[in-house]
Structure 1
Amino acid sequence: MKNQLAGHVFRTPISCQCDKPSSSSQSLVVTHDKVDRMKNMMNKHGQKADNFVHGIREHLRIGSTLSETVKGKLSMGARILQLGGVKRVFKQIFGIGEGEKLLKASQCYLSTTAGPIAGLLFISTHRVAFCSERSIKISSPNGELVRIHYKVSIPLRNIKRVNQSANVKMPSQKYMEIVTIDDFEFWYMGFLNYQKAFHCLQQALSQSQV
């Protein structure tokens, strides 16, 4: 990442760059029978239930395997319970600035050239931040393997625009692209509720400009 981003946008030092996801790299196998049964049970509630189940299906589909996805959810869930809620998780990982308020936390994936990374996307009155659900192995400067969480933090003032896009072949597969003032792109996908996350970010950006 460019030096001029220091102190503004930070990302965990790991050898992968954020790229626009391609449909060819995501032909991952999961079982959908349980999701289908849930969808059938909730059909009576109409379109909201259908959208919710599509969100679950998409979130599970992107994960490397169903078992790995579940392990990640359990790990993050245990951490949230241990600390007493997502607000405390956000504070522990990123700290809280003066007057900063957490608006929303959403489960999603960050797209990288190493593959999608599952985690939580935090939207606050000051920034957008992402932390992976599970720690990732990387090589330290001395060659040793260490485990760290992949983190991204982008101040709202450094966001140039936020774009919506979808896979042409799979319209339900939606992406959120965040472009910084230095033209770095961060792609998020696999939201359980994409529209709520997108609208929350739009509102946060609008209020930060007042």
Structure 2
Amino acid sequence: MQTSLLRELVVGTPVAHGQLQKSVNRYLPGPATQCQYSTATSKQMRLRTNISETVKRKLSLGARILRVGGVEKVYKQFFSVGEGERLLKVSQCYLSTTSGPLAGFLFISTEKVAFCSERSVKVFTQKGHMLRIRYKVVIPLKKIKSVNQTENVQKPSQKYIEIVTEDNFDFWFMGVLKYQKTFQYLQQAVSQV
């Protein structure tokens, strides 16, 4: 697969087998695009037919979290944790990518905001080898310019959290469980830096 296609598939900085790969284009579409994606009839029908698969994945994920010893240990397993860093909040959500929403966890700590996909995704190296990696995004709190709330104008119940970095990259999170509480934790974490 060509590098340009890899850039279309991956947002943020993917980490595979403990090695940091090159940062790729981190363009994220705005909420209007997400609205079109998430309300398309064919996508809704497909989602409805996969409800049992979704439930199985959620149960499997819950079992994995229990097996590891809780979300804090999962966080430490997926991300490097600095001395004195504390995990403040974890929320299930979707990260908006150019390929569509990606289910996972949003971690808010005293040092960073991090996202890790629920399932691994396929990426291809320049030599054409396929890798399965957890899709991860790490944003140091000191690099965050703003955290914004927004909603779909046509469907106000669809709310989004936008994180804008100092280098003007946008990260859009949607379907956030406990939306208001998660937003408050984000604001609090960013304001303390």
TM range (shorter): 0.7 to 0.9
2:26, 2:169 within 8 Å by CA — same for their partners in 1? Answer: no
Match of 2:44 among 21, 29, 39: 29
Which protein is bigger by CA-based radius of gyration? 1
In structure 1, list runs of 5 or more residues that go unmatched: 1-9, 32-60
Q: CA deviation at 1:145?
A: 1.7
Secondary structure of the 1:200 match is: helix
CA contact (8 A) 1:75 1:133 kept: no
- Are 1:187 and 2:172 matched, yes or no? yes
Aligned partner of 1:19 among 4, 17, 29: 29
Moved over 3 A (4+): 13-17
Decide whether the 8 Å contact of 1:16 with 1:114 is kept in 2: no
Q: Is 1:173 matched up with 2:154?
A: no
RMSD: 2.3
Q: CA deviation at 1:68?
A: 4.3
More strand by share: 2
Alpha-carbon distance in structure 1 between the residues aligned to 2:60 and 2:25: 24
Separation in 2, partners of 1:163, 1:68? 33
Q: Match of 1:201?
A: 186
Of the structure 1 ranges 10-19 and 87-96, higher mean CA displacement relative to structure 2 is found in 10-19
Work out the CA distance in 1 between the residues paired with 2:132 and 2:26: 15
Percent identity, please: 57
Shift of 1:69: 2.9
CA contact 1:101–1:125 (8 Å) conserved in 2: yes
| 105, 112, 115: which one aligns with 2:100 | 115
Q: Which residue identity is paired with 1:11? A: T
Correspondences of 1:18-97 after superposition (within 5 Å): 18-21=28-31, 22=33, 23-27=35-39, 28-29=43-44, 65-97=50-82
Q: TM-score, normalised by structure 1?
A: 0.74
| Structure 1 pair 181–118 and aligned structure 2 pair: CA distance change class (3 A) | same
State the TM-score, normalizing by the size of structure 2: 0.80
Name the structure 2 match of 1:100: 85
Q: 1:142 to 1:86 in 2, by over 3 A?
A: same
CA distance in 2, matches of 1:67, 1:168: 31
Residue 148 of structure 1 deviates from its aligned partner by: 0.5
Question: Quick one: which amino acid aligns to residue 28 of structure 2?
Answer: C
1:51 maps to what in 2? Answer: none
Report the residue type matching 2:77 in the other structure: Q
- TM-fit CA distance, 1:25: 1.2
Unaligned 5+ runs, structure 2: 1-11, 15-20
Aligned residues: 169
